[in-house]
Structure 1
Amino acid sequence: MVLASHRGEWVIFLDADDDVEEGFIHARWQTAIKTQADVVIFNAWRTGFGTSRFAVHTKQPYAQPLSGHEWIRHCVTHREWPHYLWLQIVRSSYIRDNELCFQTGKSHKDILWTVNLAVGDGRFYLLDVKDYSYRINAASITHRCDYYDVRAQSYIDVITEIIRLAELRSNK
């Protein structure tokens, strides 16, 4: 199913236990409009135990437009895949045109979502603005010991789907 619940021109995702700075949504929307991108990916702070914080990603081609395919090549070459939904603002028409959706009942939906965003080969723009703080939460479902088997199977499913997408693309 295509992501059907949105009605606006742009889609942005937030995690309930994270923090954003004042004006976060407006600033991201302004960047999306100014760059005329289909997808804008921002940076963020990773916070957790103690007072230290780290940038979520450090090897991205900031402040330059590129296609989704160019971005995939960059990410593979530099071994950094910022797939997190909460880093993105995405044009609604791009979601509809590429029939993007989430697989129900699957973990790590953001990985496949972002792969499919890039495969659509739209206009991407990355900006090193850290107006979002991702909290590492030891009590979250993804950190529970009983979740590791589900997580492993989910990664296998993600890899299988990426291989399928690559095979479809190579047969064109």
Structure 2
Amino acid sequence: MPQTPLLSVVVAVYNGELFLAKFFACLEAQAIEGMEVIMVNDGSTDGSMAIIDAWRDRFPGMLVIEQENQGVSVARNTGLAVATGQYLSFPDIDDDFKPGMYRRLLDLALASNLDVVTCNGNYVYENNRKPSRPIFPEDKLQSTGVMSGPAWLKKALDSRKFLHVTWLNLYRHDFIREHGFKFEPGLRHQDIPWTTEVLLAAQRVQYTNERFYDYYIHSASVSHKPDTDDTLIRSARHYIKILEMLEAINQRYPEQVKNIPACNWQIAKEGLGILHTFNNMKDPQKKKMIVKEFFDRGIWRLIWKNARGFRLRWRLGRRYLKLKKATRVPG
């Protein structure tokens, strides 16, 4: 009977030919015996499949799944559905992760039967146009012992420097399976609701501030292209959906959330981001349309309800009249 792999690495691939060779080299350098590698080719139209095929021999039992392009969430869910490992990881193909990352995280996870184990990383800028810096500043978040997921989420959100990402973490597969957690299809920044709910449900979490992962900020990234009114509208709709999901999550975990005021704060904070998106729009008619949708879906009420403290409400209140004015544009 085949032994259960310690780790399943679930990888979404879409037009990744520029990054895949480096990604596979990072994966090989982890030197985890019996690691299960699941590559989900999400409708790539470039040479990604040829590169994946060229590396198959280096990863015995690599599972390659091809599907029509449906986005990173569906690709991750596809891989998650067939994964058999004790722990799961979801790295991005255009980043670097250091030798020893997965071994170190697995050692922590196995020693304490963790639901989630997480580490630190670096922001690294293309062509070194800015100095690299830690994702979580070490004066704000230091290594922890084993703690509950809600306690870690509170600590992390209270730092105001927390980044909702999957790729710094390993997840205990049975924990993910028991709760039926999946990524939200078609949603950009789906890591925000995923991470929030996973941590609210987790009982055993540990963080090490060792920096194992380089997150590259580069011009080929979708999230760093110049915006148009249409891309701003799409972004606003993604964040509106995220706020609705965060509110539903808060209602599913009332006992945990009542001790974490930052669960309300993050709804208000992401809401301010939506208002900033509206400010950057040029076409008054398009702006009127999306602002009306924002009010009609009850998002203003949701943000206001979750804004705690005078300063946050003052910042929102200043924008309210401008928003209402935008909905009165003729036409």
Normalising to structure 1: TM-score of the pair? 0.89
Letter of the 1:161 partner, please give it.
M
* 1:32 alignment counterpart: 109
Corresponding residue to 1:92 among 173, 184, 188: 173
Q: How does 1:16-165 map to 2 (within 5 A)?
A: 16-49=93-126, 50=128, 52-58=131-137, 59-144=140-225, 145-146=227-228, 147-165=231-249
> Structure 2 CA distance, aligned partners of 1:85 and 1:30?
19
Preserved contact between residue 183 and residue 194 of structure 2 (Cα < 8 Å)? yes
Distance 1:151 1:63, change over 3 A: same
CA RMSD for the aligned pairs? Answer: 2.1
Preserved contact between residue 105 and residue 118 of structure 2 (Cα < 8 Å)? no
- Displacement of 1:149 in angstroms is 2.9
Q: Deviations over 1:14-71 (max 9, x none)?
A: 1111112223322221222123211011100110131621000122252321111112
> Structure 2 CA distance, aligned partners of 1:35 and 1:128?
17
- The answer on 1:168 being equivalent to 2:252 is yes
Letter of the 1:131 partner, please give it.
F
| Higher fraction of helix | 2
Higher relative contact order (CA 8 A, sep 6+): 1
Moved more, 70-79 or 153-162: 70-79
Runs of at least 5 residues in structure 2 that lack an aligned partner in the other structure? 1-73, 257-331
Q: Deviations over 1:107-150 (max 9, x none)?
A: 11111110111121321101011111110022211122254332
Q: Deviations over 1:56-89 (max 9, x none)?
A: 0122252321111112222332223231111100
Normalising to structure 2: TM-score of the pair? 0.48
Letter of the 2:84 partner, please give it.
R
Q: Match of 1:64, SS?
A: coil
Moved more, 67-76 or 96-105: 67-76
Q: Match of 2:82, SS?
A: coil
Which structure is larger by alpha-carbon Rg, 1 or 2?
2
| Count, aligned residues | 172
Letter of the 1:162 partner, please give it.
L
Runs of at least 5 residues in structure 1 that lack an aligned partner in the other structure? none
**How much identity, in percent, do the aligned residues show?**
24
Distance 1:97 1:76, change over 3 A: same
